[in-house]
Amino acid sequence: MTEVDFTVEVCGMAGDGTIAVGGLINEAMSLGAFSVLGFDSYPAEIRGFGRCVTNSRIGSSEIVALGEQAHALISLNDEQSRSRVPFLAEDCMVFFDSAPPTKVTEDKSLLSVLPPGAQIFGIPFGNLAVSAAGSARGRNLTALGGFAAVCGISPDLFREVIGKKFGSKGDHIVSVNLKSFDAGYEYSKSVFANRLGNIFSDVESNAASPRVMLSGNQAIGMAAIDAGLKLYFGYPITPATPIMEYLAKYLPKQGGRVVQMEDEISSIAAVLGGFYAGARAMTATSGPGFALMTELITHGVMAEIPAVIIDAQRGGPSTGLPTKTEQSDLHAAVFGGPGDSARIVIAPTNVSECYYFVLKSFQLAEKYQTPVIILTDFFLDNRVENVVAPKASEEQKACSNVFPEESSKDNYQRYHYSSSGISPRAIPGMEGFNFTATGLEHTEKGIPDYSPETHSRMTEKRHQKLFSALVDLKEPEEFLSGDSLDVGVIGWGSTFGSIVEAVQRLRKSGFSVGALKISSIFPLHSEIIRKFMAKSTVVLIPELNYEGQLANLIGHLDSKPVERLNLVTGTPMPTSVIQERIYQLMEVLAQ
């Protein structure tokens, strides 16, 4: 059986239909039972100008990281596509418009900068679309048809997903798009008859079925609804906005409400209010919005009010790089805010975990009565994967609030000391369980009290809760490990896919390397992490931030210094960079 691992990029200007074509490729290949990981990048500015690029990696085995070198490039705008040339494989197939409306000078030509090994396929995208469907608007579909023909992908896969994508716009729109696709397909079958490939035709995919194509943000929205979310409060910000858009569409149908607030401060305040009142509530933001929420997050810590907060990280600080990815909010999520305000911070590493971590976050927030922060990032939010359809069990959806015993009625102490630090939480309106909730330090009854004894005990209690939470938090997970390792790589968030792939490649070459995934950023399963570090001669922590924020957090767990690999390029961590760094470390070890 042939294995396939194929990356295709689509590049164009905003408005060229670039993202649409990338999406159709993902959907079609998913329908063909391949594993797919897709990621789009687009300009920060509003539609109308700027480069759009989609990257789809398609495999017969599970794909865990983004493709670094494209095997095919579909260029909907040659001038913009020139920027993709460094990322093309040497023998990359390049599909371009061979009959653009105006002449092109060399400095704007894609073909003038292609490597000589590139296989070029000139297709008159616009002309074919006009002939087939009466408008050049379908030129992106014509390009897609050419790609399908040359790569030997069944056109029926594309026809089905085109029908689904445009079905809601009526039969006419479906028809013109299908005509444009077919025009490109038939043209390429005929003109490139002796150059047609069958990259995918004799491949039997290993990917488990059935699967659904989801982005990280969609998975988050879906999980929130499945968890029984009642209230979503938010303020739009890239890359978190799609979560609100998703919920605005689907949550009201489940009886919930989505409210766009005036800012992030009011958003988190409303979330705290919602949970305080007993309803599951959530907000999603990015770095700048998260910064605004900080004070009220600590209010949730102090008043022991649950909250679920998605921090979709992007390049920072400040407004930073709105449409670029980074993992630089870890310090802010764990430590941000006044006082000793420990809270739960978790970080999914893939789309499937986005679903299950959000689902879990509501139970964590309820049980431990504290804000739970889920750290995602632009790459994880926007990438799509065809995942095994996520489904929440009744147990996973169940409310995990620790309600007070009936016996404590009329003598209820909201902040009662306990060995776990967890105090039973009454919901306002429960008769006989009245209490005061305040951001001021308080007694077990909730009465403000600044005495040294109270503050010491309450601070201890709030932190004890967090340690208790470790039993419900996912333990660090070893991948491809062994009893002892030359290099142990520790990762978190969206970077972990690249780490696993790098380690996989190196282990195939006989290197003694392994990987540890940390999903619970705070509190930490320190003992497990310490053991992994101890058995590794060298510990490497790749992160998409400058300061090495995870390395700072866990570096003290072992006596030897950790090796850091920090990138702030705004792009996902390339597997090859990790691989190269491990090679370098191995070389040093060998000396």
Partner 1 sequence: MSRQSFVIIGNGPAANQAAESLRSQGSEAKITMLSKDSFRGYLPHLLPDFISGSIGEESLYFRPHAYYKEKNIFLRLGQKAVGIDFSKRRIFLEHREVISFDGLIIATGGKPRIPEYYQLFEDLMLTLKTPQDAKLWISKLKSVDSILMLGGDLTSLSLTRALLKMGKTIQFIINEDSFWPIPYSEEIYKAVAQRLESKGVQVVHCNKIRRVTQIDENLIEVDTDTCSVRTGAIGAFFGLVPDVRFLVRSGLDIDRGILVDEFLKTRFEDVFAVGDCAQVYHPALRNYWVSIGYQNAATLGKIAASNLLGSDLEALVAPESILDVGGVKVNTSWWTEF
Stretch that binds partner 1, among 33-41, 109-117, 343-351, 371-379 (CB under 8 A): 109-117
Kindly write out the interface string for residues 532-571 of this chain, putting x where it contacts partner 1 by CB under 8 A and - elsewhere.
Answer: ----------------------------------------
Please return the burial class of 173, using the count of CB atoms within 10 Å of its CB with bins 0-12, 13-18 and 19+.
Answer: middle
Site for partner 1 in 11-30 (CB under 8 A): none
DSSP 91: E
**261 interacts with partner 1 by CB under 8 A:** no
Q: Provide, rounded to whole angstroms, the least separation between the CB of residue 95 and partner 1.
A: 12
112 binds partner 1 (CB under 8 A): yes
Asked if 393 is part of the footprint of partner 1 (rule: CB under 8 A), the reply reads no
Q: Which helix (H) or strand (E) holds 247?
A: helix 241-250
For residue 239, say if its preceding peptide bond is cis, omega within 30 degrees of 0: yes
Of residues 187-226, those binding partner 1 (CB under 8 A) = 194
* Single residue of 43, 50, 100, 482 touching partner 1 by CB under 8 A: 100
Angle in degrees, 0-180, between the axes of helices 125-133 and 171-191, rounded to the nearest 10: 130
Q: Judged by CB under 8 A, which stretch of 105-113, 146-154, 235-243, 466-474 contacts partner 1?
A: 105-113
Give every CB contact of residue 200 below 8 A, 6+ residues apart in sequence.
4, 6, 29, 32, 34, 58, 151, 152, 153
Q: Shortest gap between Cβ of 114 and partner 1 (angstroms)?
A: 7
Dihedral sign computed on CA atoms, order 373, 374, 379, 383: negative
Torsion sign over Cα 60, 61, 66, 68: negative
Q: How far apart are CA 519 and CA 129, in angstroms?
A: 48
The first and second tokens of residue 109, run together, are: 């030509």
- Residue 167 is a binding residue for partner 1 (CB under 8 A): no
Q: Which stretch binds partner 1 (CB under 8 A): 116-124, 167-175, 312-320, 407-415?
A: 116-124
Calpha distance 536→548 (Å, rounded) = 19
Separation CA 578–CA 542 (nearest Å): 7
406 counts as binding partner 1 under rule CB under 8 A: no
Q: Does position 105 bind partner 1 by CB under 8 A?
A: yes
**Which of these segments, 118-126, 442-450, 492-500, 544-552, binds partner 1 (CB under 8 A)?**
118-126
Candidates 94-102, 207-215, 253-261, 425-433; binding stretch for partner 1 (CB under 8 A): 94-102
Regarding 120 and contact with partner 1 (CB under 8 A), the answer is: yes
* Residue in 99, 389, 440, 447 binding partner 1, rule: CB under 8 A: 99
If one asks whether residue 277 binds partner 1 (CB under 8 A), the answer comes out as no
- Using CB under 8 A as the binding rule, whether residue 96 contacts partner 1 is answered as yes
Interface with partner 1 (CB under 8 A), residue from 2, 5, 45, 115: 115
| Amino acid letter, 146 | G
Between 93 and 499, CB nearer to partner 1: 93
Q: Is 98 in the site for partner 1 (CB under 8 A)?
A: yes
User: Which residue number, 103 or 172, has a Cβ lying nearer to partner 1?
Assistant: 103
Q: In whole angstroms, what is the distance from residue 17 CA to residue 52 CA?
A: 9
Q: Is 106 in the site for partner 1 (CB under 8 A)?
A: yes
Enter the tokens of residue 340: 């000793």
| 339 part of the interface to partner 1, by CB under 8 A | no
**Beta pairing partners, 54:** 10, 40
State yes or no: residue 111 binds partner 1 (CB under 8 A): yes
Among 46, 48, 86, 103, binds partner 1 (CB under 8 A): 103
Q: Which stretch binds partner 1 (CB under 8 A): 99-107, 222-230, 425-433, 489-497?
A: 99-107
By CB under 8 A, residue 125 contacts partner 1? no
For residue 188, give the amino acid letter.
Answer: S
Query: How many other CB atoms are there within 10 angstroms of residue 557's CB atom?
Result: 18
The interface region with partner 1, picked from 92-100, 181-189, 461-469, 543-551 by CB under 8 A, is 92-100
Closer residue to partner 1, CB minimum distance, 114 or 521: 114
CA distances, 158 to each of 95, 161, 195, 339 (Å): 17, 5, 21, 56
> Residue 340 gets which letter from DSSP?
S
Distance CA 465, CA 422 (A): 6
Among 46, 86, 90, 391, binds partner 1 (CB under 8 A): 90
**DSSP codes of every residue in 164-224:** HHHGGG-HHHHHHHHHHHHHHHHHHHHHTGGG---TTTTPPP---SSEEEEEHHHHHHHHH
- Restricted to residues 464-493, the positions that interact with partner 1 (CB under 8 A) are none
Identity of the residue, 87 or 275, whose beta carbon is nearer to partner 1 in the bound complex: 87
For the bound state, the minimum distance from the C-beta of residue 119 to partner 1, rounded and expressed in Å, comes to 7
Among 15, 42, 69, 119, binds partner 1 (CB under 8 A): 119
- Choosing from 43, 79, 85, 109, the residue that interacts with partner 1 (CB under 8 A) is 109
Number of amino acids touching partner 1 (CB under 8 A): 23
C-beta closer to partner 1: residue 103 or 253: 103
Helix axes 139-151, 155-166, angle to 10 degrees: 150
Q: If phi over 0 gives left and psi between -120 and 50 gives alpha, with beta otherwise, what is residue 161?
A: alpha
| Shortest distance, position 76 Cβ to partner 1, whole Å | 15
Length of the chain: 591
DSSP string over 25-65: HHHHHHHTT-EEEEEEE--SS-TTSSEEEEEEEEESS---S
End-to-end CA distance of the chain: 41
Among the residue ranges 119-127, 399-407, 412-420, 436-444, the one whose residues contact partner 1 (CB under 8 A)? 119-127
Q: Which of 15, 43, 50, 122 is in the footprint of partner 1 by CB under 8 A? A: 122
Question: CB–CB of 57/63 below 8 Å?
Answer: yes
- Say if CB 159 and CB 177 are below 8 A apart: no
Which of 104/261 has CB closer to partner 1?
104
Residue 132 belongs to what H/E stretch? helix 125-133
Shortest gap between Cβ of 109 and partner 1 (angstroms)?
5
Residue 427 binds to partner 1 (criterion: CB under 8 A): no
Binding residue (CB under 8 A) for partner 1 from 76, 114, 384, 489: 114
Among 48, 102, 318, 508, binds partner 1 (CB under 8 A): 102
> Taking the complex as a whole, how short is the minimal distance between the CB of residue 569 and partner 1, in angstroms?
24
Contacts with partner 1, residue ranges (CB under 8 A): 90, 96, 98-100, 102-106, 109, 111-120, 122, 194
